[in-house]
Structure 1
Amino acid sequence: MGLFSFVAAAGRLLGIGGSEATQDASRPPPAPPTAEAVQAELTRLGVAPADVTVRVEGDRVHLGGTAPDAETRERMILAAGNVAGIAAVEEAVTTATPAPAPVFHTVVRGDTLSKIAQQHLGNANKYPAIFEANKPMLTHPDKIYPGQVLRIPPQA
């Protein structure tokens, strides 16, 4: 169980524009989405196990249920938190095997996946691992934005 912070002013705008519509972190955050909208986003991204529960209170999302593995659990947290208007995700999602604490990185101006890979994985050429770890939230390695939170995969 954990509480994860996000930048409410950054993220995907649910119900507004196409799948690439995002909120700029330099603008005030929009109103938080409904639980149904967050649930639909998890489903759209393919990270919603059958028994997931989603509750929204203000700018905080509460996730519950069971995930098949730690990777799915982390993707659920990111998918919910990277929605415009969400400032925190509180999760009580269990996995079949004990999961290590996730490692996340909040994108700042000037970040690239290569720069993030160098910082966290010790090699800029390992950026594809970060890209793959954040699919389907990321659709292209060059399309990251300040305020977005990314999952850093464990080193092999």
Structure 2
Amino acid sequence: MSTVSFMKELGEKILSGNAQTPEQEHKNASDLMAFVKKLGLTYKNIQISATGGKVVLEGEVDTQADAEKIGLAVGNVQGVESVENKMRVTVSEPESQYYTVVSGDSLSKIAGKYYGDVQKYNVIFEANKPMLSDPNKIYPGQVLRIPAQK
């Protein structure tokens, strides 16, 4: 897997403080794990470590999509600047591309850029659930999964 960068000052506000002590790093990792569970993301086993704004994910998931969704969920959290996703995938499939939303973007516009068809916005929306609850609620700086075309 890979390391994906995020805008540290944007995203869900779930962390209670800067990870400057081992105790706070452990608390932040626990907060991130609770967030993954709250979203109902699927995994076989997972370990999360958080050092400063850097998060490392290890463990095992069934699909590439599961690994990517977990990585994006913890990455799109305020205070996280990068996620190194080392999760093992049971069923191999192509990795998605990632896109950072800019001002003026919509899922339709992004679908047009990647798929040549603005009507395929729902492919991107579905690929980013449950982090996205509405196709019209994206924000500049948010990182999205763009699945490979089938």
Same fold (TM over 0.5): yes
Match of 2:138 in 1: 144
- Aligned length, in residue pairs: 143
Match of 1:4 in 2: 4
Q: Within 5 Å, give how 1:51-90 maps onto structure 2.
A: 51-90=45-84
Q: Structure 1 residue 123 and structure 2 residue 117: aligned?
A: yes
Establish whether residue 14 from structure 1 lines up as the match of residue 14 from structure 2.
yes
Moved segments of 4+, more than 4 Å: none
Q: Could you say which residue in structure 1 is the equivalent of 2:101?
A: 107
Tell me the distance in 2 between the aligned counterparts of 1:15 and 1:51. 22
Q: What code does the residue aligned with 1:145 have?
A: Y
Match of 2:43 in 1: 49
With normalisation by structure 1, the TM-score equals: 0.86
**Which amino acid counterpart does residue 94 of structure 1 have in structure 2?**
R
Q: Which structure 2 segments of 5+ residues have no match?
A: 20-26
Q: TM-score, normalised on structure 2?
A: 0.89
Higher helix share: 2
Partner Cα distance (2:54, 2:15) in 1: 18
The root-mean-square deviation of aligned C-alpha atoms, in Å, is 1.7
Q: Which residue is equivalent to 1:31?
A: 18
Task: Give 1:91's aligned residue.
Answer: 85
Question: For 1:140 and 1:97, how far apart are their aligned partners in 2?
Answer: 29
Give the Å deviation of 1:155.
1.0
